Amino acid sequence: MYSYSEFDEAFIASRVAQFTDQVNRRLDGSLTEDEFRPLRLMNGLYLQLHAYMLRVAIPYGTINPRQMRQLAHIADTWDKGYGHFTTRQNIQFNWPKLPDVPAILQALADVGMHAIQTSGNCVRNVTADHFAGAAADEIEDPRPYAELLRQWSTDHPEFQFLPRKFKIAITGSPHDRAVTAAHDIGLRMTSRDGAPGFEVFVGGGLGRTPMIGHKVRDFLPVGDLLPYVEAVLSVYNILGRRDNKYKARIKITVFETGAAEITRMIEERFAEIRPLFKGHDQQLLADIRAAFASPALKTAPVTAYETARKDPIFRAWADTNLSAHRDADHAIVTVSIKAHGQTPGDATSAQMRVLADLSETYGYNELRISHEQNVILPHVHKSDLPAVHAALQQVGLATANVGLISDIIACPGMDYCALATARSIPIAQEIATHFRALDLEHEIGPLKIKISGCINACGHHHVGHIGILGLDRAGVENYQITLGGDGTETASIGEKTGHGFAYDQVVPAVERLIRAYIEHRTSAEETFLQAYRRLGIEPFKAALYGSEDTQDAA
């Protein structure tokens, strides 16, 4: 993976020194909270409900074992022994104390990590397919482009005060695992006449006004990436609304200006700035590419794997948690951070250390964080899978549920987040344990439930096959259900079913939906989403509300 150059190191060191000084000045009273707040946010430090929270960037979800161990060390030294992996492929520490934060940032800098641009109206962490560099269906590893975008956007003077935050997602595969359609810019790799390029989507986003991105380019040659993205940002920087926070994202700009006109303006701006890019970016890209070269994959017999498959526990795990690797003798392992009843995305320091060890011993020193809040070992030789599985079992990481009903995305919600209108974590915990008790999980098959604790939609509920949004209705937690959302290449925004449900009615409501699906599906092969698309919302509404009036969608 990419490691910091001297320039990167000096930059991070100077930022740590600056923030250390700023914290000291806040603590001695030279800075007011109003002065300090934007400074701490620029360093990923939030004040949440019960404590501060530090959000650490994991660029495009790629992390090495040494960094993972350092996260474990931070969790043990300055937090409560765990960290929370987020839907932005980052990690959050929920309990740091303000005077300790400079030391934490220094510990991060020691392993080439930081918390810069994880907040504020700038280009945020570029997210990518978590199977990047390993997936069997990949055209090209998207991470060199993500890294190029990271370097270009970090501290970019023109784009530090955008109308609002800006998120870019990139995938190198036709199968979109990076939810590109729900980002300010989505880049989906494709090829034309044998050359790779990108389909470019602009103006996608979730939150208060969910929108699927508009395609503004069918094919962008990879060499045009930076000038084109810069053109999009500069058009947005000028047109984007600064008068109303809720209308400031580029999705509203696209909506208000019209996709055709935005496309025209982007192309016009692109024509102006393209000549200014004289090839330095391409030299840089070539250097970056070298840093992402594939590890030399080993060759060995896979008989150990075939033998292990006779064990039903191993087989169940292999069937759900492995994905096809570009090398037939290797597999991509998704380590579920969703043990039934546990908090989605929370890993203890002991688990982080085991993941680091496994990555070193069997995984070519690579680890990824997925936006679905799981951890990926992208390259494991099949003969090593039994050993990996056994080691994961020791620390509660061998849950065989990836892609199933208990593999739920849940944002921190009102257990931590100051913006929340309701809790999301305990809803996820209860759904997972309930369906395990019913032993229905495998019969239900592929299903994505996504839960957000407020309209900001960090839990991606709009693109969940079943989406759950926690709201505050007259001082009581209330949960609105949406159906039919999809975050892949066939992206769609879920449809509201009708009025919401009280906290203790959510699990029974989900069970009614699931029973309706099982009753109506043509066969076990028809997934929930396929059945929903075939049947429409009515049978599910009937299951949720029975004969009561369902017209007054909340």
Partner 1 sequence: MSRRFTPKVVTANRLREGDVVYLAADDSWTPHHHEAELIEDETRAAARLALAASQPLYVVGAYLADAKPGPNGPEPTHFREEFRTRGPSNYAHGKQVDLV
Residue 452 lies near ligand SF4 (rule: CB under 6 A): yes
Of 88-96, 159-167, 240-248, 413-421, which segment contacts ligand SF4 by CB under 6 A?
A: 413-421
| Contact indicator for 441, 405 with CB cutoff of 8 Å | yes
| Contact indicator for 389, 380 with CB cutoff of 8 Å | no
Per the structure block, which two tokens stand in for 110? Answer: 């020691």
Pairing of strands 466-473, 449-452: parallel
Residue 458 lies near ligand SF4 (rule: CB under 6 A): yes
Residue 203 lies near ligand SF4 (rule: CB under 6 A): no
Binding track over 198-237 against partner 1, x by CB under 8 A: ----------------------------------------
Of 38-46, 158-166, 406-414, 540-548, which segment contacts ligand SF4 by CB under 6 A?
A: 406-414
Residue 85 lies near partner 1 (rule: CB under 8 A): no
Residue 103 lies near partner 1 (rule: CB under 8 A): no
Of 29-37, 108-116, 146-154, 190-198, which segment contacts partner 1 by CB under 8 A?
A: 29-37
Choose among ligand SF4, partner 1, none what residue 10 binds, the Cβ cut-off being 5 to 8 Å by kind.
Answer: none
Within 333-352, the residues that bind partner 1 by CB under 8 A are: 343, 346
- CB neighbours (10 Å) of residue 302? 16
- CB neighbours (10 Å) of residue 508? 12
Per the structure block, which two tokens stand in for 113? Answer: 């990590």
Dihedral (Cα; 64, 70, 73, 75), 10-degree rounding:
-80
**Nearest CB to ligand SF4, comparing residues 95 and 270:** 95
133: which residues sit within 8 A by CB, 6+ positions away?
A: 141, 143, 292, 294, 366, 378
Residue 411 lies near ligand SF4 (rule: CB under 6 A): yes
SS3 content of the chain, % helix, strand, coil (to 5): 45, 20, 40
Residue 453 lies near ligand SF4 (rule: CB under 6 A): yes
Smallest gap from residue 37 Cβ to partner 1 (A): 9
- CB neighbours (10 Å) of residue 83? 26
**# residues near partner 1 by CB under 8 A:** 32
Name residue, tokens 């695992």: 177
| Contact indicator for 500, 471 with CB cutoff of 8 Å | yes
Choose among partner 1, ligand SF4, none what residue 477 binds, the Cβ cut-off being 5 to 8 Å by kind.
Answer: partner 1
Instruction: Report the C-alpha gap between 201 and 319 in whole angstroms.
Output: 33
Chosen residue from 475, 522, 523, 551 binding partner 1 by CB under 8 A: 475
**Nearest CB to partner 1, comparing residues 412 and 487:** 412
Residue 459 lies near ligand SF4 (rule: CB under 6 A): yes
Instruction: Please name which of 457, 442, 370, 355 lies closest in space to residue 406, comparing C-alpha atoms.
Output: 442
Q: How many Å is the Cα radius of gyration of the chain?
A: 23
Looking at the DSSP assignment, which residues form a beta bridge with residue 484?
none
Smallest gap from residue 424 Cβ to ligand SF4 (A): 6
230: which residues sit within 8 A by CB, 6+ positions away?
A: 152, 273
Choose among partner 1, ligand SF4, none what residue 425 binds, the Cβ cut-off being 5 to 8 Å by kind.
Answer: partner 1
Chosen residue from 419, 471, 518, 535 binding ligand SF4 by CB under 6 A: 419
Residues in touch with ligand SF4 (CB under 6 A): 411-413, 417, 419-420, 452-454, 456-459
Q: Rule CB under 8 A: which residues touch partner 1?
A: 26-27, 29, 32-33, 47-52, 80, 94-99, 343, 346, 414-416, 420, 423, 425-426, 429, 472, 475-477
